[in-house]
Every structure is written in C-alpha cells, then in structure tokens.
Amino acid sequence: MKHSLRTRLILTHLGVAALAIVLVALIAAVTAERRFATYTRDAQADAVAALVAAVTDTGTDGWSSSEIQSLRRLAKLNSLHFALFDPDGALLFSSAGAGRGGPHGGGLGRSSETPAAGWSVRSEKILVNGHHVAELVLQQPQARQLPANIAYRRDIFLYLALAGGLAALTSLAVGALVSRRITRPLEHLSAATTAIARGSRTVRVDVAGEDEVGTLATSFNVMSDALERQAHWRRTMTADLAHELRTPLATIQSRVEALEDGVLPTTPDNLRVIGQEVERLDRLLTMLRSLDDLDIGIVPVRREHLDLANLAAEVAEASRERFRQKGLHLRVSLQPVPVEGDPDKLTQVLVNLLDNAHKFTPAGGTVLVRTEHQGSGPHAKAFLLVTDSGPGIPAEDIPQVFERFFRGRHTAASEGVGLGLAIVRRIVEAHEGSVEVTSGEGGTTFVVALPLVRAPSS
C-alpha cells in the first residue's frame, strides 16, 4: 500500500515517540521497583528489630496478657508472624494465639522448619539481663509479596500506561501538525509544478519561512520567472525573426515581380539590390548556425599568439567610415596585450560589440575601444573594452543581454534579432575568458577578459 508523505511523517513521528515512551517507562519501572524493594527491606528489618526490642523489654517480669496483645498488634501491623519458645522449646505464645501459628495452620516451629512459599523464617534469642530466657521465631513475607508492594507495582504500571497513552496521543497530534506544516508547502509546490508542466507560466507559490522548504519555494519562483521570460523571449524572437526574414524576402519578391512585368529594367543596379537582400538572409542564417555550433562545441577554436591591440586597431580602422557617416566619433586607446586565440573569432567579437555600439549610440556620440592588462603571472588578464555614450541598458535587462534572441524594450525599434551578444559570449567562453557589461545614464561598457599569455615588456 502506498502511503503519502504526510502519513509516513506521522507514522515515523509516532514510532519514534512510542520507542522513547517504552524505553522511559522501562527505566522508570525498573528504577522504581528497585528503590521500593530496598525501602521495603529496610522497613521489614526495622519492624523485626522493633518487635525483638518489644519482646525483650516486656520479658523482664514475664509477659502479661496485655503485653502479649500489644506484641500481636505490632506484629500484625508489620505483616509478621511470630512464636516465642522457652529455652526448652516449649511454646509460650504466638501471634496467632497459643497452639496456632502463621501460614502453616499449626504452631510455628524452630527456624529449621521449611517456610511456606513466599515467606522467610528467622529466629532471635531473647536475652534479659544477659540470660537467655526465650527464642523468638519470626515468619515474614518476602518484599515482593507484601500487599503494599503489590499495590505499588500495580499503581506504578497503571500510571505509566496512562502517561504513555497520553504521550502517544500528544505525539500523534504533534506529528500531524508538524507533518501538515511540512507537507502543505510541498503539496502547493506539486500543484504548481503540475500547472507549469501543463503550460502555465504565471503560477507562483508563497514562500513561508527560510528553511529548506522556503528555499525550494524561492527556487521554484525563480524558475517560473525564468520560464516566463523565456516564453516571452521565444514569442519576441519568433516575431523578430519573422520580421527579419520577411523584409528581405519582400524586397526580393517585389524586385523579381517588377523585373518580370517589365516595370524595372534588368540592370546591374536592380539585380544588385536582390543580391544584397540575399546576402542579408545569408548573414542571418550564418549567425544562427554559428551560435548553434558554438553552443554544442563543434566549431574548433584555433590557438595562435596575437596582440589584441593590433586586432582592435584593424577592426576599428575598418569600421571608422561607417561610424563617421552616422556622425559618431570612434576612438581607440590601445596597450599591447598578447593573448592566445583564434583571430577570426576574436575579430567577430569586436565587430559584434562595435555593431552594438553603433546601433545604440545617437549621432554626435563617442565610442571608445581600449585594450589593457592587469595582474601578473598565471592570473594576468588581457582586457578589451568597448564603451559608448548611448542611453544605457535598463538594470532589469542587464542579466539577459547575452541571451540569444533577447531584445530589451528600448531596442524594439532597432534592427537585429538579438544574436550578436550571444555569439560574443560563446566565443569568449570558448577562449576560457569572460564578458561583462556595466551600464548607466552615461553609456554602456562591455568588458572582455582573456588570459594574458605573458606580461608585456616594459
């Protein structure tokens, strides 16, 4: 039979509590039994000593009837049977009267007589003024057979049973409450997970406490937020990709139809427009393919020594005219930084970063390309920095700027489908480096960090 987590928690809690109750009850019962037995033995010894002292004190002038009755009451009070014999063995009197003894039904004999089951026999010499005047034979029940001891054991076991039952009920109630407190958030998480699996992206769970269950709930909400963002990105990506494909296809279609209808002459210029749109489609598909290849690691990265400053200078010079046409100032500040990497792929990194700066920097702005190094030895780093004076990236968009197809709200009107920065990150990571971005109202800076091959000469 399959039990729920709540049932298993309750049963576990109850089982542990029951085991603890049984152990405590056994220890308490054994300890109480031993201590009460010791107390009973001491009390019996005191009772025997008191009876012997009373018989001795009253035997100075013989034993009168009233003294004998007092001795019998004292013996009965302490559950003792006795018989008093003279030195010749004749019975003087007993606790049951002359001629009648204790549990034997007859008179008590000397101490050599076998006692009844559960009883013990002992004899004490009665000395008066140093003379042996009598022998007192005592018969007393064993400690466990005393009525008080029997009643005590019965009561202690009854109280322990009641306490154990009450503790078990309390443990059951506490176990139910604790298990409910533990499993209720898990049940909510299970229901929310089912909703996520069925396609919902808006479900969230309440975070109660800071324990492991609370941490799990927080992680679930973070996952749900990420799934919702990814769903939004996919919708946006689909729309952007469709737009990027539709625009060149529409241009090609209109040109081809115009050429077919004779509206436009078949001239190199008209054919060049079609060729440019085909190249645009090819670049888009190439970027998608490159990103997929980088993700699965099937594109090898060539390793050769190169100076990142020289590579940056070449790319900046090739891009200068394009920046000038938009009214942008492209500046460089380059220090020699030798690295080991693939020149083609690192060139693509810088081209993508410059394209991003060109796209979002308004006319009259400045874009600065820098190379520098920090540290020494195996931890030395080479840095490539591209800083623009654009409006900056909203803080909530920064964690996603390197995700494929991500486009922030302020980039909706710009060209592109959000692949350039994703490709930058994949290439840099393939070179065992990292890329970060900082942004504010004064602009944005992308920082590429790569291992420095050797410290540059001074």
Q: What is the pLDDT of residue 102?
A: 39
Domain that holds residue 230: 212-296
Tell me, yes or no, whether 433 and 317 share the same domain: yes
Last residue of a domain, one of 130, 149, 168: 149
Q: What is the pLDDT of residue 447?
A: 96
Tell me, yes or no, whether 273 and 330 share the same domain: no
CATH number of the domain residue 40 falls in: 3.30.450.20
- Order of strands across the sheet that contains 366-374: 329-334, 366-374, 381-388, 443-451, 434-440
Tell me, yes or no, whether 247 and 371 share the same domain: no
Q: What is the pLDDT of residue 292?
A: 67
Tell me, yes or no, whether 233 and 369 share the same domain: no
Tell me, yes or no, whether 409 and 432 share the same domain: yes
Any domain includes 286: yes
A 10 A CB-CB count for 76 gives 12
CATH number of the domain residue 335 falls in: 3.30.565.10
Any domain includes 269: yes
55 burial level (CB within 10 Å; 0-12, 13-18, 19+)? buried
pTM of the entire predicted model: 0.48
Tell me, yes or no, whether 280 and 319 share the same domain: no
Q: What is the pLDDT of residue 314?
A: 94
Long-range contacts formed by 401-405: CB under 8 A, 24+ apart: 401/437, 402/435, 402/437, 403/233, 404/237, 404/291, 405/233, 405/234, 405/236, 405/237, 405/240, 405/241
Residue ranges of the chain whose pLDDT lies below 50: 99-107, 112, 455-458
Give CA separation, 7 vs 180, 190, 313, in Å: 10, 17, 70
Q: What's the structural domain count of the chain?
A: 3
Any domain includes 190: no
Tell me, yes or no, whether 279 and 314 share the same domain: no
Tell me, yes or no, whether 264 and 284 share the same domain: yes
Spatial CB neighbours of 71, under 8 Å, sequence gap ≥ 6: 51, 54, 55, 58, 63, 82, 95
Tell me, yes or no, whether 287 and 339 share the same domain: no
Q: What is the pLDDT of residue 105?
A: 36
Query: DSSP assignment, residue 455?
Result: P
Last residue of a domain, one of 238, 270, 296: 296
A 10 A CB-CB count for 195 gives 14
- Tell me the C-alpha distance between 353 and 319, whole Å: 12
- Tell me the C-alpha distance between 317 and 330, whole Å: 9
Any domain includes 156: no
For 184, the token pair is: 């209720």
- Tell me the C-alpha distance between 189 and 202, whole Å: 14
